[in-house]
Amino acid sequence: MKIVIVNGSARKKGRTGIASRHFEKSYGTELIDLSQLKLPIFNGEEDQYHLEEVKNLKEKIGQADGIILASPEYHSGMSGALKNALDFLGSQQFAHKPLALLAVSGGGKGGINTLNNMRIVARGLYANVIPRQLVLDPDCFDYENDSLLPEADALAKQLMDELSRYIKINNLLKEQER
Amino acid sequence: MKIVIVNGSARKKGRTGIASRHFEKSYGTELIDLSQLKLPIFNGEEDQYHLEEVKNLKEKIGQADGIILASPEYHSGMSGALKNALDFLGSQQFAHKPLALLAVSGGGKGGINTLNNMRIVARGLYANVIPRQLVLDPDCFDYENDSLLPEADALAKQLMDELSRYIKINNLLKEQER
């Protein structure tokens, strides 16, 4: 079962990156890191589809059994970096694939608008967005150890468990349809 | 009264570009064209704030009395290009400024999710998003003349009129508060 997490922050030291690496280290998810992967701004032109970065992104998402989108909240929405990466992709990569949402916020009521934004966009990509979702506030992080604190990790585990359950169902369905 | 329209499409031949240029030609709005302006992906690092493109963008939006955000609909949301441009900006540029929304869609029910996405993000920027909004479908365009057809132009004019009314009110209020 191959799960990919997309770190939707281009910040080198962002908390979304810490959360994404936590999933990589604790749950073996494959990391697509938008602070490392240099994508151009999507302009729909042919030559962009031949870029190694774009081909790799498509291939990794396309081969995944399930996906986690992780985004910081910028101005009540997902990062432009993440939306721009999604603009290169389509239902070919996402259709019916279980997908979990994770927002990283500054606290208070933050993160919810970003989750709703991502949910509608992921539906637009024809993914199967699972009901469970997660907001991580600043006090969820173990900054020294580049990871999540135990309480937040318990929520991360629940997200992984539910995503895995949906992937099992999806894989079962795909087998039956063969 | 200075109104700026942001063409949120990076496509050289996109319909959002046609619509934006129509506003420029017919209503004298200043055009910020994301198919021309080359912004990097926002990563929060100091050096990005010193880029000419970023300083210009901030200055133009900051000096505007009112703003129109124009976006194509990509996967049920605004373009990554537009969201990325907004990620460089903040309430310093937008607070209480009248702002109108325009989505360009492929037809059917398209455009509404993008308008709602932009409305929530523009509220996050603390703009005063006006009630009237507009979706332009493929049959709204006069492709030969790089403009809108008369019926769509009538709707564009209504959007401009309402935006201008809100700008007048805002400018009056600012004067009274001085």
Task: Judge whether B75 is closer than 8 Å to chain A, CB to CB.
Answer: yes
Pick the closest to residue B69 from B114, B123, B1, B5 (CA basis). B5
- Complex ipTM over 0.95: yes
Query: Is B75 in contact with A85 (Cβ distance < 8 A)?
Result: no
* Closest Cβ–Cβ partner in B81, B85, B124 for A42: B81
Question: Looking at residue B105, what DSSP letter applies?
Answer: -
Q: What are the chain A neighbours of B10 within 8 Å (beta carbons)?
A: 41-44
Judge contact between A3 and A163, C-beta under 8 A: yes
Encode chain B (178 residues) as per-residue pLDDT tens digits: 999 999 999 999 999 999 999 999 999 999 999 999 989 999 999 999 999 999 999 999 999 999 999 999 999 999 999 999 999 999 999 999 999 999 999 999 999 999 999 999 999 999 999 999 999 999 999 999 999 999 999 999 999 999 999 999 999 999 999 8
Query: Is A117 in contact with B39 (Cβ distance < 8 A)?
Result: no
Judge contact between A104 and A133, C-beta under 8 A: no
Question: Searching chain A, which residue's CA lies closest to the CA of residue B8?
Answer: A43
Please tell me the pTM assigned to this model: 0.97
- Burial of residue B107 (CB within 10 Å: 0-12, 13-18, 19+) is exposed
Q: What are the chain B neighbours of A90 within 8 Å (beta carbons)?
A: 75
CA distance A113 to B116: 11
CA distance B34 to B12: 9
